[in-house]
Amino acid sequence: MNGQDTPHGRGDGRGGRGGQSHRRRNEAGRERNRGGVRQYSQTAPSQRTRAADPARLAAFEVLRAVERDDAYANLVLPARIRQHRLDRRDAGFATELAYGALRGQGTYDAILARCVDRPLERLDPAILDALRLGAHQLLAMRVPAHAALDQTVGLARAVIGAGPGSLVNAVLRRVSAKDLATWTAELTETETDPVKRAALVHSHPEWIVRALRQSLVGHGRSVDELEALLEADNAAPVVNLVALPGLGSLDEAIDAGAEPGELVEDSALYAGGDVGRLASVRAGTVRVQDAGSQLIARAVAAVPLDGSTAERWLDLCAGPGGKAALLGALAARSGATLLANEPAGHRAELVRKALAAVDPAVWEVRTGDGRELGRLEPAGFDRVLVDVPCTGLGALRRRPEARWRRQPSDLAQLGPLQRELLDSAAEATRPGGIVAYVTCSPHPAETTAVVADLLRRRRDLELLDSAAILDAASLPGRLQAGQAEPGTDGTTVQLWPHLHGTDAMFMALLRRK
């Protein structure tokens, strides 16, 4: 290991600007390794590093927990960062490495399959994870090839064994012989099916590529946007912050380098790393929340209503409490109260924590099945948010492993629950009150089809101009996210990561007659 190859040395490529936007791209816009001509360490493999670099070890442990324990990467990673006492720069490196390797798994596995002399399923899963980490460093990060190779081999030696270390060394040398653009061109040269091509190049399961294509078409957009949508799923999302109205201030975040959000008031974009360093975030008055979710909560609170003075609001599917916290703060300002319902006990506890900064007289958390509430409290609420359990196909960029976990059957299985929850929400709404049906999936089976079914079955609900209401709640005022729904005078709203920089949230606002 030469002096520049130390885990913390600049030769390791952690120059502090490892973010997506700073990576070098080729003419086709694909990321390339910065190394140019490949350089390898002159040291013989057996003499190279045997110690695992803590940042790479943290990333490796995240991949192992995801594969072995079905863990969520975003929950495991912070614990590993703490355990290995990574400083800010190394924490950023571990995050980019773990998330990037998980997101890119589809493409990397296809490349690795050409470099390993046996089917990947027959490899020890730990070796496969080390290879994925090596492939991501070699093909998509600003890590010099020799450092990526030495350090990944060192990791494999230290945590798996000497034999696996040699295998990792041999395979990653083959991987490093070409850059990502050359590899993907090779992988797809005989592939004529555009879905299969897109799946390989953009590392998504084929069924999700198909589902997102249907989603674009179903919401009146062009299939030509598919590539941009898939690419947006692979970009690390910037952390969005919201200052709870009347409670929080973004001053501290702005002083720490956050930029004011352009889509929604009292929001900011924070690229400064661990938000837990901000006292306002620790106090719960400033929260991490996607701008699309912020907009939806604000739109629900802002729809003009006749008839009530002290309004009652209901969040029927509230866990973990992102929208409930914003709704609670908005309710406090307008003299309303909020009931936040969630059936899973541990998630109901998260809702309580999310609401902790809001006056406790304003809100209550109920632990129970939302399908019961329409019957238990008929016509009991002025505003009802029903943010149903869904496939999450609109939030894949936030959950790096989610695309590999979801199954095509999830779409069909969730349909009946989504319909029952929307019915219960409608029952719980008073005449003249509003219901917001919301998903973080753009798939027509979970969005427009559910709303169209409801409007066919029930004559006591009308679709509002949801797009105009969302526009009014947003800063630019013209999101162009609306879609006219046949047979109604109203519109639904579909936000997109590649167009609006938000999760692909759907919203339909309905008024009970």
Ligand X SMILES: C[S@@+](CC[C@H](N)C(=O)[O-])C[C@H]1O[C@@H](n2cnc3c(N)ncnc32)[C@H](O)[C@@H]1O
- CB burial of 352-385 (b: ≥16 within 10 Å; e: otherwise) equals bebbebbeeebbebbbeebbebbeebeebbbbbb
Shortest distance (Å) from residue 216 CB to ligand X: 22
> What x/- string results for residues 372 through 411 when contact with ligand X is judged by CB under 6 A?
---------------x-x----------------------
Residue 261 vs 319, nearer CB to ligand X:
319
Residue among 8 and 347 whose Cβ is closer to ligand X: 347
CA-closest candidate to residue 336, choices 364, 377, 316, 295: 364
Q: Which of 48, 136, 219, 323 binds ligand X (CB under 6 A)?
A: 323
* Minimum gap (Å) between residue 305 Cβ and ligand X: 21
Part in contact with ligand X (CB under 6 A); list of ranges 97-105, 255-263, 365-373, 495-503: 365-373
Q: Binding residue per annotation — 318?
A: yes
Residue type, 418: Q
Q: Is 390 a catalytic residue?
A: no
Residue 317 in contact with ligand X, rule: CB under 6 A: yes
Q: Candidates 83-91, 143-151, 329-337, 369-377 — which segment interacts with ligand X by CB under 6 A? A: 369-377
Residue pointed to by tokens 């894949």 = 396
Q: In terms of Cα–Cα distance, which of 337, 393, 392 is closest to 366?
A: 337
Binding status of residue 288 toward ligand X by CB under 6 A: no
Which helix (H) or strand (E) segment holds residue 157: the answer is helix 145-159
Q: What are phi and psi of 176, to 5 degrees?
A: -75, -5
**Cα–chain center distance at 9:** 31
- Tell the smallest beta-carbon distance from residue 429 to ligand X (Å): 16
Tell the residue number behind the tokens 């879905």, with chain if given. 195
Do 476 and 467 form a contact (C-beta atoms < 8 A)? no
Phi/psi for 119 (5° steps) reads: -60, 145
Minimum Å distance from CB 49 to ligand X? 43
Helix and strand numbers, DSSP H then E, in the chain: 22, 13
Exactly one of 109, 225, 265, 369 binds ligand X (CB under 6 A); that residue is 369
- The number of residues that bind ligand X (CB under 6 A) is 21
Contact with ligand X (CB under 6 A) among 293, 391, 466, 494: 293
Cα–Cα distance, 263 to 327 (Å, whole number) = 18
Give me the catalytic one of 211, 216, 278, 440: 440
Cα dihedral 494, 236, 396, 223, rounded to 10, equals 50
Helices 162-175 & 145-159, crossing angle to 10 degrees?
160
Is residue 322 marked as binding?
A: yes
Question: Where does this chain touch ligand X (CB under 6 A) — which range of 141-149, 252-260, 317-325, 483-491?
Answer: 317-325
497 annotated as belonging to a binding site for a ligand:
no
Work out which of 273, 284, 343, 380 binds ligand X, going by CB under 6 A: 343
14 vs 323, which CB is nearer to ligand X? Answer: 323
Nearest partner of 140 among 171, 170, 169, 111, judged by Cα:
111
Site pattern 111..150 for ligand X (x: CB under 6 A): ----------------------------------------
| Residues belonging to the active site | 440
Q: What does the binding site for ligand X look like in residue numbers (CB under 6 A)?
A: 293, 316-323, 341-344, 347, 369-371, 387, 389, 421, 440
Give binding residues for S-adenosyl-L-methionine as ranges: 317-323, 342, 369, 387
